[in-house]
């Protein structure tokens, strides 16, 4: 500011109170239900110094993860390995949502394009423990019936088809369909 650049920011009491609430919300979403946020505001001519004193408290810990409906499609061990939340972790609701997305993707990658995953949780605030659940509704299994390549001019449709990771008769694979496979056998045959 001494160069005269930038915009002066003024202390906004309402926004400051919202900041405190946002910090509390962040901690609660992350599993710290007993968080306490205290603030210290020191005012001087032309400046305000703000200190946030956060007492996190103990987190709610995941004590049980139940996964139903995926048996015979993908192993529980594989799902538990891949999801971003585990028994003993703080019950972070964002990671809980990511876990449902991870389970859904795993099921869709095994031929179930309409798979849905329903989440549930039970938090015991006295014991600071959570039981979380994922109910997989896989829907019908599907094979790829047709692969259509349109709009090619410079490259032959057959060459494009060789680059595509999914083929007629394959089980539906969401990851392959959306290009998450990095390399196909026919890559070197172009040109």
Report, as an integer, the average pLDDT of 128-132: 98
Asked whether 53 and 40 are in contact (CB, 8 A), the reply is yes
Split at pLDDT 50, 70, 90, the class of 190 is very low
Average pLDDT, the chain: 88
Q: 42-58 burial by CB neighbour count: b if 16+ within 10 A, else e?
A: eeeeeeeeeeeeeeeee
Q: What does the pLDDT average to over 88-101?
A: 98
Whole-structure pTM value: 0.78
pLDDT: which is higher, 168 or 87: 87
SS (HEC) of 111-179: CCCCCEEEEEEEEECCCCEEEEEEEEECCCCCECCCCCCCCCCCCCHHHHHHHCCCCCCCECCHHHHCC
Neighbours of 41 (CB within 10 A): 11
């Amino acid at each position: 500011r001494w160069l005269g650049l930038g915009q002066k920011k003024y202390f906004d009491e309402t926004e400051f109170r919202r900041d405190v609430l946002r910090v509390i919300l962040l901690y609660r979403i992350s599993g710290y239900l007993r968080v306490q946020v205290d603030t210290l505001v020191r005012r001087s001519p032309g400046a305000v110094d703000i200190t946030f004193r956060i007492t996190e408290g103990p987190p709610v810990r995941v004590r049980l993860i139940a996964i139903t409906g995926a048996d015979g499609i993908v192993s529980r061990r594989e799902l538990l390995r891949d999801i971003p939340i585990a028994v003993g972790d703080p019950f972070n609701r964002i990671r809980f949502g990511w876990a449902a997305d991870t389970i859904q993707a795993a099921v869709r990658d095994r031929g179930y394009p309409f798979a849905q995953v329903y989440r549930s949780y039970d938090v015991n605030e006295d014991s600071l423990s959570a039981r979380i659940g994922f109910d997989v509704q896989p829907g019908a299994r599907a094979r790829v019936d047709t692969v259509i390549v349109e709009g090619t001019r410079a490259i032959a449709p057959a060459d494009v088809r060789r680059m595509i990771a999914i083929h007629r008769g394959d089980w539906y694979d969401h990851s392959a369909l959306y290009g998450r496979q990095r390399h196909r056998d026919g890559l070197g045959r172009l040109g």
